[in-house]
């Protein structure tokens, strides 16, 4: 079974279409979305509609919650807050209904799926240290957990007491050993933050026992223009080109 993972689309339709076109060219059995479909970008409704149509499973992200008014945006920086307010006013009835229907986490064929972190998903914890990764690896019983949220692709491998971070770069498969456990961050479709502006997604082949990241160029200037034309903060356009 080959599963493609998309996450943190952030209303960037140009990046989403590029990723979906690439997924369609591969042998892919299903697509899973790990949340943050909206927030920051200029095309929230078309992105929600595409995810609803193509994804077998979708979990909700903190920016989806913020756009629905289900969490306070006080913890957001000024750009994220301005974008959340813009998104709330832009969402149509169908998008609101779909986003409201999404679960915080899901288990699918032995894979744990959550936007931010398996331990207490509604705290939206970032997994950015070995200590945090160890805590989170103890919070789910399955062998492998897929997350998004930080927009930084990485594979964390647990072997007994030892934990190591493995690079997760484009087109380099990472082996999934039967006797080890994993936390896989699938990066971001619509707002990468690892200084590589290319849009990204990951797949997991359960027969080949491997995960792999894909990074693709997409027309960033188109999205930048739409962001500025929509009256969203220009910083949100600039960061797409910088990959931060």
Which of residues 36 and 194 has its CB atom nearest to Zn ion in the complex? 36
Region near Zn ion per CB under 5 A, out of 31-39, 75-83, 93-101, 123-131: 31-39
Q: Does 14 bind Zn ion (CB under 5 A)?
A: no
Looking at the Cβ atoms of 52 and 63, the one nearer to Zn ion is 63
The arrangement of strands across the sheet holding 181-185 comes to 105-108, 111-114, 144-147, 181-185, 154-159, 162-166
The closest of 51, 137, 220 to 61, measured between CA atoms, is 51
Closest by alpha carbon to 114, among 39, 46, 57? 57
| CB neighbourhood size of 69 (10 A) | 11
Pairing of strands 105-108, 57-58: unpaired
> Which CB atom, from 36 or from 157, has the smaller least distance to Zn ion?
36
Task: Figure out which of the listed residues 8, 43, 64, 194 binds Zn ion, where binding follows CB under 5 A.
Answer: 8
How many residues line the site for Zn ion (CB under 5 A)? Answer: 2
CB of 15 to Zn ion, least distance (A): 13
Q: Which is nearer to Zn ion, 8 or 194 (CB)?
A: 8
Query: Applying CB under 5 A, does 36 fall inside the site for Zn ion?
Result: yes
Nearer to Zn ion (CB atom), residue 8 or residue 43: 8
> Are 200 and 215 in contact, with CB atoms under 8 Å apart?
yes
- Of residues 89-128, those binding Zn ion (CB under 5 A): none
| Helix (H), strand (E) at residue 211 | strand 210-216
**Smallest distance, Å, CB 36 to Zn ion?**
4
Residues forming contacts to Zn ion in the complex (CB under 5 A) are 8, 36
């Amino acid at each position: 079974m080959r599963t493609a993972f998309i996450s943190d689309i952030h209303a960037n339709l140009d990046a989403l279409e590029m990723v979906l076109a690439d997924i369609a060219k591969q042998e892919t059995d299903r697509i899973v979305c790990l949340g943050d479909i909206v927030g920051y970008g200029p095309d929230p409704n078309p992105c929600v509609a595409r995810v609803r149509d193509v994804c077998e499973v979708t979990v909700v992200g903190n920016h989806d919650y913020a756009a629905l008014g289900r969490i306070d945006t006080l913890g957001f920086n000024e750009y994220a807050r301005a974008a959340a307010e813009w998104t709330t006013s832009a969402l149509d009835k169908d998008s609101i209904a779909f986003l409201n229907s999404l679960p915080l986490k899901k288990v699918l064929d032995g894979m744990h799926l959550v936007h931010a972190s398996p331990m207490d998903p509604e705290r939206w914890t970032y997994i950015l240290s070995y200590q945090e990764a160890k805590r989170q690896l103890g919070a789910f019983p399955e062998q492998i957990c897929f997350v998004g949220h930080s927009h930084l692709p990485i594979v964390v491998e647990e072997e007994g007491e030892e934990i190591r971070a493995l690079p997760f770069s484009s087109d380099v498969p990472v082996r999934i050993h039967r006797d080890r456990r994993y936390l896989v961050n699938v990066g971001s479709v619509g707002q990468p933050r690892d200084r590589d502006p290319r849009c990204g997604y990951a797949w997991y082949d359960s027969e080949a026992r491997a995960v792999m990241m894909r990074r693709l160029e997409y027309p960033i200037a188109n999205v930048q223009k739409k962001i500025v034309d929509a009256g969203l903060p220009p910083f949100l356009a600039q960061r797409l080109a910088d990959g931060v």
